[in-house]
Amino acid sequence: MKKSLSILMLVIVSLSFNACSLDDDDNTNFKYVNLKVLSAEVPEAFEYGERYTIFVTYANPNTCTYFEGFDIHKHQLTEREVYPIGTELIGNDNCQESTEEVEVSFDFEVIYNEDYLFKFWTGQNAGGEDQYIEITVPVNQ
| DSSP labels, 96-115 | -B---EEEEEEEEE--SSS-
Report the C-alpha gap between 125 and 39 in whole angstroms. Answer: 17
pLDDT given at position 37: 98
CB 114 within 8 A of CB 78: yes
pLDDT given at position 21: 45
- Report the 10 Å Cβ neighbour count for 134: 12
Reading the chain (141 residues) residue by residue, the pLDDT tens digits are: 555 545 545 555 455 444 444 444 556 788 999 999 999 999 999 999 999 999 999 999 999 999 999 999 998 999 999 999 999 998 877 889 988 999 999 999 999 999 999 999 999 999 999 999 999 999 997
pLDDT given at position 6: 52
Q: Domain ranges for the chain, please list them.
A: 23-140
Which CATH class, in words, describes the domain spanning 23-140?
mainly beta
